[in-house]
Amino acid sequence: MNQAHIRGNILGLATIFLWSTLALFTVLSGNIPPFELLSISFFIASFIGLVMLKKQKKSFKDLFKIPLKIYFIGIYGLFGYHFFYFVAIKNAPAVEANLLNYLWPLLIVVFSAFLPNERLRWFHILGTLLALCGAFLLVSKGSSLDFEEEFTKGYTSAIVAALIWSSYSVISKTLKHIPTYAVAGFCLLTAILSLIAHLALEETVIPSYSQLFASIMLGLGPVGGAFYLWDYAVKNGDIKILGSLAYLAPLLSTLILVFIGISDLTVSVILACIFIILGSIVSSKEYINTIKRFFIKS
């Protein structure tokens, strides 16, 4: 267990914490249309990459040295995921669409089995399924789900979004030779495509100061800065553990909303907390044992 591996897992957990603030800042962004919000956030996110370039004594020109196929992968992941997610939310009930979208952590664990030198164990599957049950309770709020045929387009889009993000994350694992600052190019191109989608599909809203602040925070955190951390995490950490731990994001997001008084602490939230934490512990069994052995030897 080398330092890069440990750091990758830690940064992956930090990414999940950042993603947990998504709901909060989205609420604070008010009535800004989705693609307009994305374009603002990803433009902010691209500046993070420029700072990273300068810190590594690189220039903007170095982004042009990244192979074109890598940019296709980046656009596929960042823009493709958000595009289909928004289509899902607009064309299906939010609860059902979100539940289908939250298949992506499970799919990451499953897809990781096809990577070289990766081995899928029983506790990875069990832990992720327990966490998925927790996400089900969290999203459904303990009530039944109703998948109606008229919302097929939305349901399909949610599944496509889950497939895109999970496959993008697993593909990124194989691109360890590509520097993380390449994400700056992904963010910039996603910002441009989001702006085009906004101009074609939405009506522009001039944000207030508080809405603009929320948009900037999204770009610095869950819809921007988090993607740089996730890129490093999946390339260097244990992608199976990260996939399972990703279910902490909706849980922490809900708890943040409960803490500030936007949501209520219900029995389903408490049960979801138990399932997700238990699932995370089970899926991390191998990693926890490695840490124990490390401290015993030292």
What pLDDT digit, counting tens, does each position of 87-102 carry? Answer: 998 888 877 888 888 8
What pLDDT digit, counting tens, does each position of 120-166 carry? Answer: 777 778 888 888 888 888 777 666 666 778 888 989 999 999 999 99
The C-alpha atoms of residue 89 and residue 170 are separated, in whole angstroms, by: 25
Instruction: Provide CB contacts within 8 A for 172, sequence distance 6+.
Output: 73, 77, 231, 234, 235
- Contact (Cβ atoms closer than 8 angstroms) between residue 112 and residue 240: yes
The C-alpha atoms of residue 145 and residue 142 are separated, in whole angstroms, by: 9
What pLDDT digit, counting tens, does each position of 19-32 carry? Answer: 999 988 988 998 99
Nearest to 249 by CA among 24, 18, 7, 10: 18
Reported pTM: 0.88
- Contact (Cβ atoms closer than 8 angstroms) between residue 281 and residue 51: no
Please report the pLDDT score of residue 142 as a whole number.
66
The C-alpha atoms of residue 149 and residue 157 are separated, in whole angstroms, by: 14
Nearest to 46 by CA among 193, 180, 184: 184
